[in-house]
Structure formats: C-alpha cells, structure tokens
Amino acid sequence: MFDGPDGSGKSTQFRRFSAWVKGIGVPVTELREPGGTPIGERIREVLLDVAHEEMTLTCEMLLYMASRAQIVEEVVQPALERGDLVLADRFISSTHAYQGAGGGLPVESIDLVGNVAVGGWMPDLTVVFDVDPETASRRLNPLLDRMERKGETFHARVRAGYLEQVQRNPDHYILVDARPDEETVYTTVMESLEDRLSVLRAPRGLSPKANQSPQASP
C-alpha cells in the first residue's frame, strides 16, 4: 500500500509501480481511496467538496471509513480470493494521519470504526512517502480541495502522524524520502521493496497464511 501527505508524489509512484508489477505478469487489483467504487467515488466528492466547510471531524472520519468498507467488500475480498495482488493508493493509515494526528481524533476511535469497516483486511506492507511542505506545495494542483486547504499546521501534523506510524510499526511500514525527483524516488521504491519483488518474480500461490487474518499485499 502506498501512502503519504498531499504532494508527496505517491500516486505517480503508485502508477509506475503497478505498471511494473503488471509487466512481470502478476495479476493486480488497484485501489484508490477515498473512492474506487461507484459509491466510494460519490463519497469522495462529498469529502473533498470545498463547499462542505462545516463537515465535522467525526463525520469526515466516518465517510472515509464508509468508502473503505465498500471497497473492501466490493473489490478487495474478491480480488484476494482470485489471487490478485492488491495495491492500494491510501488506506487506513491515511485516516490515522489526517483525522487522527492532523484532526485530533483518538487512535482508539479510529481503530474501533476501522475494525467495523475493514475487519482483518489490513495491508501486509505500507510504503510511506515523506516530503517537506515546500516540495509538497510545489507539486500540488493550485485548485486545492477541502483537505488540501486545511493549512500548514494541519499538514505538518499529518506528516508527523505518518512518521510516527512508521516508527511504531517497522515490520509493516517502509519510509521513502519523496523529496527528490520522480526517477530517484522510483529507484528508492524499487530498492526498498527488493525482498518483496523477488517473491513476486517467483512462481507464486497467494493463499492466506494459515494462522493469520487475511492480508492485502503490499
């Protein structure tokens, strides 16, 4: 799963990585959040609409989770049952960074709702793209959406929220310095994922590990 602050370039890296994986013949299902299903795309419009200034933090968190609940049942579960590799552009770590660290919702509330929304369908691996605010703002479309408009202090907390998740859970997170140019970042991504890529290159069966809850990869 690829995640990171707005302007980190993660979606560009996501597209390149996904194209590479497909190119070596691995069946891939791509997710984007919020969105990725007809219902999720409508929720996305509500979430990012600049007219919705009055949206409360709890409503915001529940809408992100509602979009996620839909994509997990409609897309992720069938994809994993088919044996696809599921690649996601954002997932629950975004909620921890934005509504948790950024907005101030307690981790426990997010985990509680997250458990209802996704159950055990958690990513095997989350690649976090870290970027400084100046580089990030240069990369953003000047027409900022409702989340991008939240201001410097909020986005500094979001960035710190990602770094904290990486530190807390080094087995399931990789940190990539996303400040350099696209090509350099892509090389870093490929090097950081080298161990996993060798598994992908090998002939594979994707049945869930017997003693674990179902996992999406990476």
Residues forming the site for ligand TMP (CB under 6 A): 6, 33-34, 64, 90, 94-95, 98-99, 147-148
Q: Which of 90, 159 has the CB closer to ligand TMP?
A: 90
Dihedral, 69, 72, 74, 78 alpha carbons, nearest 10: -160
In sequence order, what are the residues at sequence separation of 6 or more whose Cβ sits closer than 8 angstroms to the Cβ of residue 97? 3, 5, 158, 159, 161, 162, 165
d(CA 36, CA 124): 20
| Least distance to ligand TMP, CB of residue 208, Å | 24
130: closest CA among 100, 93, 104? Answer: 93
| Least distance to ligand TMP, CB of residue 68, Å | 7
| Least distance to ligand TMP, CB of residue 47, Å | 6
Report the Cα–Cα distance between both ends of the chain, in Å, rounded: 5
Q: Which of 34, 186 has the CB closer to ligand TMP?
A: 34
Q: Which of 51, 210 has the CB closer to ligand TMP?
A: 51
φ/ψ bin of 139: left (φ > 0), alpha (ψ from -120 to 50), beta (otherwise)? alpha
| Least distance to ligand TMP, CB of residue 128, Å | 13
Q: Which of 6, 84 has the CB closer to ligand TMP?
A: 6
